[in-house]
Amino acid sequence: MTVQVGLIGAGRMGATLAHHLAFGVDTAVFTAISDPNWEAAQAVAQKCGVPHVYADYREMLARDDLDAVVIVTPTNTHVEVIKAAAAAGKHIFTEKPLALTLAGCDEAITAVETAGVKMMVGFMRRFDPSYRAAKEKIDAGLIGRPVMFKAVGRDPGRTSLEYARRENSGGLIADMGIHDFDLARWLMGSEVERVYSEGGCLVFPELAGVGDIDNAVINLKFTSGAVGNVDVSRNAVYGYDIRTEIIGSEGALFIGDLKNTSTVLLTRDGVLHDTMPGFMARFPEAYAAEIADFVAAIESDRPVSITGADARAATAVALAATISLDEERPVLLRELA
């Protein structure tokens, strides 16, 4: 069978996923696209050969021939779009995070369950070849029992002040750390039970005016007894820096590299190599694979790989870590239940 798919949101990430829908999944038919920015929607449609363009996603959802939608709208709109798509009987792929609150997560999950449709959330790092290989090695017992998790998530520059507002993105910890919180649960095979955060505006003082920070460190305690640490930053001027370590009782795994290519220049002045410029360059295979996996789940009528419950759990860690930052204390996840 083929799966008729529509895209809601034609921004930078929307354009990326549109490319994979159009050219990377043989069983997907990219039927329609919607975005209130008509020019952006038309531009993506022309590049990807999409025949139907809408300014209002609700009009697109009314199409009887549409099986599924990919949602790449602003974070604070995810819940309303998910509920509308579910009510229209469409299967759903949504970019992370599922919602900015646990109540929002629950609304989205309930809407999907009531409608009887599938929903997958875009934690694409689970589809990156290096992370998938690490998960396989952990599950095979090659490093013994996971006892420590360490993640680095650093962007090369500050986001816009409007996006940095918590009501729009959730703030630094939720926006950037949520990928690492999802990886922590997945790779360690355990839930997070307690967090403690430290952070501040150390480079971009203007972020304080919109309620955000530019650097943070979050310590994690897992229900298994394992410990972890995530650091997130908006001022990695040297490049996009995404790395993860898992220490086990019998070994360790290191994932990620600063280098974009394997070329290293050695001269009298020192040793130089390039660095990863951004997430598009770091995770192209992962973005392609997650969309293919979503379509395959619809085609074969199997469960999706990353569920609403997974997304809710990662959101809970992000919210607890943000509360910890604000209140300067350790926060137990059960406080948010």
pLDDT surpassing 80 at residue 335: yes
Prior bond to 97 cis, omega within 30? yes
Q: What pLDDT is attached to residue 264? A: 83
CATH of the domain spanning 126-282+314-336 = 3.30.360.10
Closest CA to 187 of 310, 5, 62: 310
pLDDT digit string, tens, across residues 9-47: 999 999 999 999 999 999 999 999 999 999 999 999 999
Closest CA to 313 of 96, 74, 76, 81: 96
Range(s) of the chain covered by CATH 3.40.50.720: 3-124+285-306
Q: What pLDDT is attached to residue 196? A: 98
pLDDT band at residue 278, thresholds of 50, 70 and 90? confident
pLDDT digit string, tens, across residues 208-266: 999 999 999 999 999 999 999 999 999 999 888 999 999 999 999 999 988 887 788 88
pLDDT band at residue 306, thresholds of 50, 70 and 90? very high
∠270-273-277 over CA atoms, to 5°? 140
Range(s) of the chain covered by CATH 3.30.360.10: 126-282+314-336
Average pLDDT over residues 92-101: 96
Using an 8 Å Cβ cutoff, are 246 and 138 in contact? yes
CATH of 3-124+285-306, one of 2.30.40.10, 3.40.50.720, 3.40.50.620, 3.40.50.11310: 3.40.50.720
pLDDT band at residue 118, thresholds of 50, 70 and 90? very high
> What is the Cα–Cα distance from 27 to 93, expressed in whole angstroms?
16
Percent of the chain exceeding pLDDT 90 equals: 89
Higher pLDDT, 272 or 164: 164
Average pLDDT over residues 90-102: 97
